[in-house]
């Protein structure tokens, strides 16, 4: 029997600069999955979580007695949720981040409206002529010889919409233009989008990992849905515990991780890279990129390309004495990205790193 239970939608209007911190806040407050949506026209980010109707009350939350050591889902009151979010936004602002309007909206929505809202926001994405990322409901047909990845939002991080994920996808396509069988490692796989795209583009072997067991489960399910589960391997692993002397090294590595993890695992990350290989670092705040570049250059790498979009910066690194991209022609080696969307003019923000933000808002 189809359920008609409504959902409570809790949304915060903020800036791209603060969206990750706000997402951490919302997830920690509501103990529910969180999604973010960036409106290209307005430059505003919306961070949203959905609560089942039974977990939200109009007044004070009813007390619930613990009868076992198993975790119990907490009930929330609208007044309590709004107060906790506003207090968290105040702490984020104290970190030096611009939170924008910080408007908090709590509204009841039908499940049907919730499902349809994804379809309005998430459209197919094309990475050149080589790759098409689309949700399952899209009827867009691929071009001739264009690889297709079908991925619905809301499962785990990574649908290709975020600037850092898009940068990684572009580098996957560029690397795939080198007509040799190349190995690929996806660090912090999330939804599995990069590993799935790599398998579709002909990379082999393709390995991926994430520390979150739920992300590993989702990524494996997405790989199976795309028919490439036998062409890649997805496991649970901690980037800070990778082997310093690995059995295998990779031609292309994408590490789409927060800065604190990149710094903590830097030597182990570089140890996985083949001497002629390329490392893509993404998920870095614009204000933190210079420090990240210096740290990885101290390990023998050099910056071959960088891309700034909104408050995010991503970079492509190779060993200083080698550059595999010389094998590509000039058209594919245009690292200036002059034809890309105009970069954000927002001022760099020095101050709280990702780890400090997480500690302050929770």
pTM: 0.66
pLDDT digits (tens, 9 = 90+) for 46-62: 988 887 766 665 444 43
Contact 28, 362 (CB under 8 A): yes
Instruction: Tell me whether residue 360 is in a domain.
Output: no
* Range in 132-136, 155-159, 208-212, 268-272 with the lowest mean pLDDT: 155-159
Domain stop point among 119, 142, 171: 119
Domain stop point among 100, 119, 138: 119
Same domain membership, residue 259 and residue 202: yes
Same domain membership, residue 229 and residue 82: no
∠ CA(318), CA(352), CA(260), 5° rounding? Answer: 40
17 backbone φψ class: left, alpha, beta (φ>0; ψ -120 to 50): alpha
Instruction: Tell me whether residue 65 is in a domain.
Output: no
Instruction: Tell me whether residue 354 is in a domain.
Output: no
Instruction: Tell me whether residue 263 is in a domain.
Output: yes
Produce one character per residue of 304-327: b if its CB has 16 or more CB atoms within 10 Å, e if not. bbbbbbbbbbbbbbbbeeeebbee
Same domain membership, residue 113 and residue 241: no
- Which comes out higher in pLDDT, residue 42 or 40? 42
Instruction: Tell me whether residue 339 is in a domain.
Output: no
Task: Of 23-27, 183-187, 331-335, give the range with the top mean pLDDT.
Answer: 183-187
pLDDT digits (tens, 9 = 90+) for 238-251: 999 999 999 999 99
pLDDT digits (tens, 9 = 90+) for 132-145: 998 888 888 999 99
Instruction: Tell me whether residue 62 is in a domain.
Output: no
Same domain membership, residue 44 and residue 189: no
Residues 6+ apart with CB under 8 A from 40: none
For residue 241, the domain's CATH number is 3.40.50.150
Q: Would strands 44-52 and 34-39 be described as parallel, antiparallel, or unpaired?
A: antiparallel
Tell me the percentage of the chain whose pLDDT exceeds 90: 41
Mean pLDDT of 186-199: 93
Instruction: Tell me whether residue 28 is in a domain.
Output: yes
Query: Which of 298, 288, 290 has its CA nearest to residue 320?
Result: 298
pLDDT attached to residue 333: 35
Residue 321, pLDDT > 60, answer yes
For residue 13, the domain's CATH number is 3.30.70.120
Same domain membership, residue 100 and residue 207: no
279: domain range?
Answer: 158-333
Q: How many domains are contained in the chain?
A: 2
Same domain membership, residue 169 and residue 287: yes
What is the spatial distance between Cα 270 and Cα 273, in angstroms, rounded to a whole number?
A: 5
Residues 6+ apart with CB under 8 A from 32: 49, 50, 51
Same domain membership, residue 196 and residue 273: yes
Same domain membership, residue 215 and residue 89: no
What is the spatial distance between Cα 14 and Cα 312, in angstroms, rounded to a whole number?
A: 15
Same domain membership, residue 175 and residue 323: yes
How many whole angstroms from its chain centre is CA 176? 22
Instruction: Tell me whether residue 27 is in a domain.
Output: yes
Contact 187, 267 (CB under 8 A): no
Same domain membership, residue 264 and residue 198: yes
Same domain membership, residue 16 and residue 164: no
- What's the pLDDT band for 12 if we cut at 50, 70, 90? very high
Same domain membership, residue 81 and residue 166: no
């Amino acid at each position: 029997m189809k359920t008609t239970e409504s959902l409570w939608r809790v949304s915060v209007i903020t800036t791209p600069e603060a969206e990750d911190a706000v997402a951490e806040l919302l997830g920690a407050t509501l103990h529910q999955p969180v999604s973010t949506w960036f409106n290209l026209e307005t430059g505003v980010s919306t961070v949203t979580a959905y609560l089942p109707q039974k977990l939200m009350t109009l007044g004070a939350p009813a007390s619930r007695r613990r009868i076992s050591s198993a975790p119990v889902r907490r009930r929330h009151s609208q007044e309590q949720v709004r107060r906790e979010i506003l207090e968290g936004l105040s702490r984020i602002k104290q970190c030096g981040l611009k939170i924008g309007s910080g408007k908090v909206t709590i509204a009841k929505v039908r499940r049907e409206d919730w499902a349809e809202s994804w379809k309005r926001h998430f459209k197919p994405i094309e990475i050149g002529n080589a790759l098409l990322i689309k949700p399952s409901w899209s009827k867009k047909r691929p071009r001739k010889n264009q690889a297709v990845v079908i991925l619905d939002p809301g499962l785990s991080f990574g649908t290709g919409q975020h600037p850092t994920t898009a940068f990684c996808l572009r580098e996957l396509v560029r690397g795939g233009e080198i007509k040799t069988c190349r190995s690929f490692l996806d660090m912090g796989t999330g939804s599995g989008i990069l590993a799935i795209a790599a398998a579709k583009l002909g990379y082999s072997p393709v390995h991926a990992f994430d520390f979150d067991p739920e992300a590993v489960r989702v990524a494996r399910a997405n790989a199976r849905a795309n028919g490439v589960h036998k062409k890649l391997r997805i496991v649970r692993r901690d980037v800070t515990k990778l082997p310093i002397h690995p059995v295998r090294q990779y031609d292309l590595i994408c590490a789409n991780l927060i800065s604190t993890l990149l710094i903590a695992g830097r030597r182990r990350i570089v140890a996985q890279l083949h001497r002629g290989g390329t490392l893509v670092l993404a998920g870095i705040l614009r204000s933190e990129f210079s420090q990240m570049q210096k740290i990885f250059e101290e390990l023998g790498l050099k910056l071959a390309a960088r891309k700034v979009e909104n408050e995010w910066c991503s970079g492509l690194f190779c060993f200083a004495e080698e550059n595999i991209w010389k094998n590509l022609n000039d058209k594919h080696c245009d690292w200036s990205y002059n034809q890309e969307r105009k970069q954000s003019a927002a001022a760099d923000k020095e101050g709280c790193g990702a780890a400090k933000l997480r500690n302050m808002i929770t």
